[in-house]
Structure 1
């Protein structure tokens, strides 16, 4: 019996030989250590990646500022600018009454004169329009009137119809219709006229 065999044991439990059995350390502790090291490395890489993303989206911590004396946004000239409308004194208006109400053309012409317009002819509407204008009024003039006189007169009364004819003169006819009551209140018409005469501001680019 070998000295390694405990007393009273034999058979298959008998230990033979003169060398002691090798005792191995459990592998569980090694696995825990490796798991901890891997977790620390993953956290470190994640934090570094987050810092890189922050630098990308914030420009690396550098601030972009405009140079001294240089505006951040520069005005850009408009591609096309509409010409400014004429002043009321530059527009000759013929006032015609197409309604059964007497004196309407004269009263309206007098008010337009007070507002700075130049008055031409005043009287009853021509036969083709007399008692045939159910709306507020008709503005009648040459095709060029669309670019200026019509826009200016439209600030003085709402709901007008715009029509052109073959005339070569710059005067404009104002034919009052059945629905006409009065001109737009002067404060409101003055405000609309001032807005119309203000040139648009150029667009800006940054």
Structure 2
């Protein structure tokens, strides 16, 4: 047992015991509180930023590019079934094609002038005149070639003479003649060089492509 008598106490007070009391520094509570508050603020900012990013990438505001992509994705339908199911017949020469030339426009004289030019190119022109009511003023493209199944190859041959012409096969038609319906988009027959190039394509037409449409983005309502 050790005994200490502080000086100046005249022995009145004594400190006894085996251990001395520890002298601690006063706690700096202000700094601790400030550090805790700062940590809470930083965590709050991180959480707010994470919420904003979540809304942006999930289209929360309905006007973001991340959300616009899938909505505007094109919708494709299967390619139309070809009109022919068997192997295509080889194209005949112009001399083997009997064609009727009809004017489906409001412009006069197109049937005769076109028929005369086709005759010069070796086609057999049976007749020419105004288009029947089924096609009159209803052909928007340059020309439409109408034929029955027996005249499918002849229709493809005649179609090479007009750029942008389409071929329509009428199952009810039995003969092998073709009708060339001159449409509103017609300006003149294709040049012999262009007709020769079109003939190569008509002899080996590519498979039909799927039809794709892109939906329009609906207008967004103003926020308020």
TM-score normalized with structure 1 length: 0.52
Equivalent in the alignment of 1:43: none
Unaligned 5+ residue runs, structure 2?
Answer: 1-85, 205-224
Say if 1:91 and 1:100 are closer, same or farther in 2 by CA, change over 3 A. Answer: same
Name the SS for the 2:193 alignment partner: helix
Shift of 1:140: 0.6
Say whether 1:129 aligns with 2:140. no
Unaligned 5+ residue runs, structure 1?
Answer: 1-79, 199-206
2:178, 2:99 → 1: CA distance?
A: 5
Shift of 1:195: 7.6
Deviation string, structure 1 residues 18-52 (Cα, Å, up to 9, x no partner):
xxxxxxxxxxxxxxxxxxxxxxxxxxxxxxxxxxx
Name the SS for the 1:167 alignment partner: coil
Say whether 1:108 aligns with 2:114. yes
Equivalent in the alignment of 1:98: 104
Shift of 1:137: 1.2
The number of aligned residues is 118
Equivalent in the alignment of 1:179: 185
Shift of 1:83: 4.1
Say whether 1:89 aligns with 2:95. yes
Q: Does the 8 Å contact 2:101/2:128 carry over to 1?
A: yes
Shift of 1:187: 2.2
Deviates more, 1:188-197 or 1:124-133: 188-197
Say if 1:134 and 1:82 are closer, same or farther in 2 by CA, change over 3 A. Answer: closer
Equivalent in the alignment of 1:119: 125
1:193, 1:111 → 2: CA distance?
A: 18
Name the SS for the 1:139 alignment partner: strand
Say whether 1:162 aligns with 2:167. yes
1:139, 1:196 → 2: CA distance?
A: 13
1:126, 1:156 → 2: CA distance?
A: 21
TM-score normalized with structure 2 length: 0.48
Say if 1:197 and 1:130 are closer, same or farther in 2 by CA, change over 3 A. Answer: closer
Shift of 1:168: 1.3
1:195, 1:161 → 2: CA distance?
A: 13
Name the SS for the 2:157 alignment partner: helix
